[in-house]
Amino acid sequence: MYLDKSRPVGVFDSGVGGLTVVKEIIKNLPGEDIVYFGDTARVPYGSKSKKTVIEYSSQIVNFLKTKNVKTIVVACNTASALALETIEKQTDIPMLGVVHPGTRAAINITKNKKIGLVATSSTIESGLYPELIDEMDPEIKVFTQPAPLLCPLVEEGWTDDEITDKVIERYTRGLVDSGIDTLILGCTHYPFLIDAFRRVVGEGIRLVNPAYETAVSLNTVLEDNGLLNDSGHKAEYSFYSSDDPQKMEKYIDSMLGCPIKELEQIKIEKY
């Protein structure tokens, strides 16, 4: 299949968390146009069943196809863990999630072969992170902890707060006691809490931010497929959401501060 390298990169998430991935793409691949979809009407995915997450993700892929994207980044750990394998079959364009890049980075970093993972309940229950790590290095032990309160804490804006530190302390206590030297922040919301995590777990544990690793992987995927946009044009960024886009706009402004080409609400159930 021939794909025009000037076409945009599609990125989607259950809500606004995936904007952390967009931020890394803008920083590391400044030539790429981006079309972002946030499923803000049905957010969050992290407590929902596999079947529902696949259905919702599949509708979003259909929508992004109408935007002529040359690749799709699943910027949501839950959708990457539960749906990527299924939705990949919907299209011929390359697709990548955040789980594989995060996993590879963690494996490269760990010295004592003990990796921790904090994520949503659905991501943990999928078992995908431990499975992938086991395939790549069966000697590594993985310790997991669902952390359902962290997204709401980020959305409440309590990112630098003693209550949040206490919640992180409780969620990570068991992982730290297990002797991990590497911790995967397995939800796109969690990079907002990276300072809080550092405070709580200390310098002895390396933190892996899959958002950054995904941007690096995207670069490789585009390069391998001859799809890197090297036209030197000024990149354009369009954003779509299933709920009123006004709230998302605030996040875009404060996190990305990029010019917005389009911002529109989409009836995603129709796709």
Judged by CB under 8 A, does residue 173 bind a second copy? no
Q: Quick one: which of 3, 6, 28, 52 contacts a second copy (CB under 8 A)?
A: 52
Among this protein's residues, is 187 annotated catalytic?
Answer: yes
Range 64-103, binding a second copy (CB under 8 A):
none
Among this protein's residues, is 151 annotated catalytic?
Answer: no
Q: Quick one: which of 42, 114, 199, 206 contacts a second copy (CB under 8 A)?
A: 42
Site stretch for a second copy (CB under 8 A), options 41-49, 93-101, 106-114, 133-141: 41-49
- Grouping H, G, I as helix, E, B as strand and the rest as coil, residue 138 is coil
Rounded Cα gap, residues 37 and 15, in angstroms: 8
How are beta strands 34-38 and 9-13 bridged, if at all? parallel
Rounded Cα gap, residues 104 and 156, in angstroms: 31
Q: Assess contact for 34 and 25: CB atoms under 8 A.
A: yes
Annotated catalytic residue, options 76, 105, 153, 218? 76
Written as one letter, the residue type at 143 is: F
Site stretch for a second copy (CB under 8 A), options 25-33, 71-79, 163-171, 174-182: 163-171
Site stretch for a second copy (CB under 8 A), options 77-85, 151-159, 184-192, 230-238: 151-159
Residue pointed to by tokens 């006004």: 246
Judged by CB under 8 A, does residue 148 bind a second copy? yes
CA nearest to 189, candidates 253, 129, 118: 118
Judged by CB under 8 A, does residue 174 bind a second copy? no
CA nearest to 184, candidates 72, 80, 83: 80
Q: Where are the beta strands (DSSP E) in the chain?
A: 9-13, 34-38, 71-74, 95-97, 114-119, 141-146, 182-186, 206-208, 237-241, 262-265
Q: Quick one: which of 156, 230, 253, 262 contacts a second copy (CB under 8 A)?
A: 156
Q: Quick one: which of 66, 108, 112, 152 contacts a second copy (CB under 8 A)?
A: 152
> Please, which residue, 223 or 269, has the CB nearer to a second copy?
269
> By rule CB under 8 A, what string of x and - marks binding of each residue 98-137 to a second copy?
----------------------------------------
What are the residues whose beta carbons fall under 8 Å from the beta carbon of 173, sequence distance 6 or more?
none
Q: Quick one: which of 79, 115, 128, 167 contacts a second copy (CB under 8 A)?
A: 167
Rounded Cα gap, residues 50 and 40, in angstroms: 18
Rounded Cα gap, residues 199 and 165, in angstroms: 8
Which residues form the catalytic set?
A: 76, 187
The residues that touch a second copy, with contacts defined as CB under 8 A, are: 40-43, 47-49, 51-52, 148-149, 151-153, 155-156, 163, 166-167, 170, 242-244, 269
